[in-house]
A and B are shown apart, each in its own frame.
Chain A
Amino acid sequence: MKNSSWTYARKISQSFCLAVFLWLFLKTEYRGIDQLPYPVSLLFRIDPLAALADFLAPGPFGWQVLWPALLILLGTVLFGRFFCGWICPLGSTLDGLGKVIGRGRRTFSPGWRSVKYYLLIGMGTATLFGVQLLGLFDPLAIFLRSLTLAVYPAYNYGLNGIFDFFYEHDVLLLSAAAKNSYPFFRDNLMAFHQPIFALGLFTLIIFLIILLLEKVEHRFWCKNLCPLGGLFGLCSRYAILQRTPQKLCVDCKACDSLCRSGAVRSSGHMRSECLLCMDCTGFCPEERVRFGLRTGSDNGVGVDLQRRGVLTAMASGVMMAPVVHIGPVTHEQNPYLIRPPGAVAEDEFLQRCVRCAECMKVCIGGTLQPALLEAGPVGLWTPLVVPRIGYCEYNCTLCGQVCPTGAIAPLKLPEKKKNVIGLAVIKKDRCLPFAKGVECLVCEEHCPTGEKAIIMEEKEVLVSGNIRRLKFPKVIDKLCIGCGICETKCPVEGASAVRIINEGESRRKRSELLAGPYG
């Protein structure tokens, strides 16, 4: 197949954008500077679905952060789905991967294409009614989430394995090379601490399914399922970047089988389906195909949408709200549902969070973990603080810095240090001084608040028949911010003897008893 210079330009753009996103991904890590020096969550600042979630959530729209997304939408109105063909990292991954694993040649009935629109309409309507699930299907969220939770941890693990092998076995030259290059890799190309995520495998499987759909049909995901593609499709109906000839030529019809998105038909060119890959400018045997700026052509073909389907999608969206609320209110039932510092109140949080996993990528202590059902039926992949895995670093504000939709507010350090995400509770049946009469103070030692929120109180107790003076930890509720370092570092094996619950979190609005919660 002959490539035109347009195709080369598109491929360069795809590679460049993918490289930029991957580079930003690697930079989404603490590298010795408290304020991240790069706009690491750029991928979601240009994401119209993230902007939609933000727009429909209560509270003001984050103009300062999300204006690039609107620029992308405006560009789409003018030029069509250039984002899909030229920028989208998931699309580029699929294109690249198709070359490696081979592509399916099946063609599905055009009806499949409308799935993405119905998905968009259904989820958009649900969002309007307070149930925001856009992030589950947002290709950019899928891409970054899979990278963060699965691909990157596996890559790190593998690479570390190689370095460890050459560390443990002395191989001529190679061991020395590995030893010398390790600090560079660790500081630039690898995670400083091996990332560990509870939903890693689950996320990976979903990502692999999307990738393997490429074996069924080229860009199956983009053509048929991607709601962001649907949004761009709806916007590009009247794009002024137009293709000539618009219809299949009677003498050739090569486009019919060669166009990856099946956008050229005998009735005309479907601008909403065209990914602007520009391959047709190259493979046209007659070299007839041109793209140019034009207005007012009526030969374009509209979107494959039926009124009945649209209404069904909208109705399903409306139904989402009552359906997901038939269970108990999760954040009132689950005391271990703890959100990152700066997270807005739970209802708004769920409406704002697009499950992009940027916060989990950047978290220094590795405490932020994706939720499965811990946050209720719509909380999948939202960030949870899981202190037994890691803790919230006292002097760190990174998660708020990277959140693109204001689900985690960017707190200044002094505010962050006062932001209560939970409360430590000592379990006396596990805690060593209480349960075994053994000295221990690890929780107190690590407690980071200037005036410690865990203190040691000395008491006389009976330990196996003898009176002993022992020190017991005690939590001072009004000083505890719930950072969880006590739970992480508790030396008791297995379940920690001190656990964080979400009592008293700053984001929960309520009136306080002036004398404290229990008088």
Chain B
Amino acid sequence: MTRIDRRTFIRQSIRTAVATSAVGCLPALDLLALPAIAADSPPLAMRKGKNVKQLVQETIGALGGIEEFVKPGEVVVVKPNIGWDRTVELAANTHPEVVTTLVELCLDAGAKQVRIFDRTCNDERRCYTQSGIRSAVEGLNADRVSLEYMDRRAYKELAIKGGKAFDRWEFYMPVIEADRLINVPIAKHHSISKLTLGMKNLMGVIGGNRGRLHHQIAESLADIASVIHTDLTVIDATRILVANGPQGGRTEDVRNTETLIASPDMVAADAYATTLFGFKPEDVATVVAAAQRGLGVMDLKQVRMV
């Protein structure tokens, strides 16, 4: 069955490629310019504030509002980090209010459906509950919003074109098929990639034995990011984890930085977030690898602060 699927997939990919190339020839419809390819000076918004809801609204507002990214009738995936069985104050998961505020913005912009999920490390039921995200999303009481468990059947192996660490990997198709992906990581310490930010958060929408990615973490994450297109990255640094990450567990390791970073360029957002920990973008190998692949801008001088 897999073989047939792969064939179908390749056949359809070729068809789509031919079709897009054909359409791409028309100068008016610039469909070939994949947004994953870095814009020259991507905008980036950074705001500070104690009120999380207001903070999210201001930061997104600075980028021109969510309408810049979400159009009416679209299916939006909001991908927070819900990886761990930890409570909000331990800074292991994205703040629930950051998630719900973004979801509300998407709904106001007319999104047809907003889907929220993460492939967790601890038991997903525990993570969804303990992170506070379940109750926060249920509190929205909106039937266009769903907090979903990952469906084990919805992973599909995709080829990674130009992959440096892997030539193929399993991806979660609802993310690939969604109209928009809003990546909402929390900024945390990590022993091998130094920090876990936007790129590392995409590990929550892939299948397979994810542990294997750590053997060459920078190139692997760049491979993943080259397949999954992110429309907006919002880095939750309302509180950050500076040690014992990415799971934490002690309030001593948490710093209340009350910051939010947002950019359509994931690499730029990650690059900027390194400074919160006293690093430079070039200190973090994943950021460097992604920039070298042309997935985004890591030079903060090129970034347009808004």
Contacts and interface: CB of A to CB of B under 8 A. Distances in A.
Interface of A: 30-32, 164, 167-168, 186, 192, 364-365, 393-396, 432, 438-442, 444-452, 456, 471, 489-491, 493
A432 B247 CA distance: 22
A366 to B, nearest CB: 10
A168 B149 CA distance: 18
Given A444-B191, A445-B190, A471-B192, A439 B216 contact: yes
A446 B121 contact: yes
B125 A441 contact: no
Contact of B215 (A192, A393, A439): A439
A450 B250 contact: yes
A456 B246 CA distance: 13
Nearest to B218: A439
Nearest to B212: A491
Contact of A30 (B121, B126, B149, B244): B126
Nearest to B211: A491
A442 B244 contact: no
A395 B125 contact: no
B153 interface: yes
B216 A491 contact: no
B125 A192 contact: yes
Contacts, number: 79
Contacts of A432: 215
Contacts of A395: 85, 126, 130
A444 B243 CA distance: 12
Q: Pick the most buried of B1, B134, B244, B246: most chain A CB atoms within 10 A of its CB.
A: B244
B244 A452 contact: yes
Interface in B240-254: 244, 246-250
B249 A450 contact: yes
A383 to B, nearest CB: 18
Contacts of B210: 491
B153 A167 contact: yes
Contacts of A168: 1, 153
B123 interface: yes
25 contacts: A30-B126, A32-B129, A32-B134, A364-B126, A393-B126, A395-B130, A396-B126, A439-B214, A439-B215, A439-B216, A445-B121, A445-B190, A445-B214, A445-B246, A445-B247, A448-B85, A448-B247, A450-B249, A451-B244, A451-B249, A452-B244, A456-B191, A489-B121, A491-B214, A493-B209
Nearest to B148: A183
Which 9 residue pairs spanning A and B have beta carbons closest together?
A491-B211, A450-B249, A450-B250, A442-B211, A456-B191, A441-B192, A438-B215, A441-B191, A491-B212
Interface of B: 1, 85, 121-123, 125-126, 129-130, 134, 149, 153, 190-192, 209-212, 214-217, 244, 246-250
A396 B126 CA distance: 9
A441 B247 contact: no
A442 B249 contact: no
B191 A450 contact: no
B85 to A, nearest CB: 5
A450 to B, nearest CB: 3
A102 B63 CA distance: 74
A456 B192 contact: yes
Nearest to A445: B246
A441 B248 contact: no
Given A164-B153, A439-B215, A444-B191, A394 B85 contact: yes
Contacts of B216: 439
Given A395-B85, A445-B247, A450-B248, A440 B126 contact: no
Contacts of B153: 164, 167-168
Given A448-B249, A452-B244, A456-B191, A441 B214 contact: yes
Given A30-B126, A489-B211, A449 B249 contact: yes
A440 B190 contact: no
Contacts of B123: 30, 364-365, 393
Nearest to A473: B191
Contacts of A471: 191-192
Contacts of B212: 491
Contacts of A186: 149
B139 to A, nearest CB: 15
Given A30-B126, A440-B211, A491-B212, A447 B247 contact: yes
Contact of A451 (B121, B126, B217, B250): B250
Contacts of A438: 215
A164 B155 CA distance: 13
Given A393-B123, A432-B215, A489-B121, 10 more contacts: A168-B1, A192-B125, A393-B85, A393-B126, A441-B191, A445-B214, A450-B249, A471-B192, A489-B211, A491-B211
Contacts of A439: 192, 214-217
Contacts of A396: 126
A76 to B, nearest CB: 41
A446 B130 contact: no
Nearest to A492: B211
B196 to A, nearest CB: 9
Q: Pick the most buried of B190, B211, B216, B246: most chain A CB atoms within 10 A of its CB.
A: B211
A164 B214 CA distance: 32
B168 to A, nearest CB: 17
A518 B230 CA distance: 52
A264 B215 CA distance: 75
Contacts of A447: 247
A489 B247 CA distance: 14
Contacts of A164: 153
Contacts of B214: 439-442, 445, 491
Contacts of B248: 450
Nearest to B210: A491
Contacts of B129: 32
A345 to B, nearest CB: 29
Given A364-B123, A365-B123, A448-B247, A490 B85 contact: no
Contacts of B211: 440, 442, 489-491
B90 to A, nearest CB: 8
Contacts of A31: 125
Contacts of A456: 191-192
Contacts of A167: 153
Contacts of B191: 441, 444-445, 456, 471
B304 to A, nearest CB: 35
Contacts of B125: 30-32, 192, 364
B113 to A, nearest CB: 15
A225 B73 CA distance: 67
Contact of B122 (A393, A440, A450, A452): A393
Nearest to B215: A438
A229 to B, nearest CB: 40
A47 B142 CA distance: 47
Given A32-B125, A395-B126, A445-B190, A450 B244 contact: yes
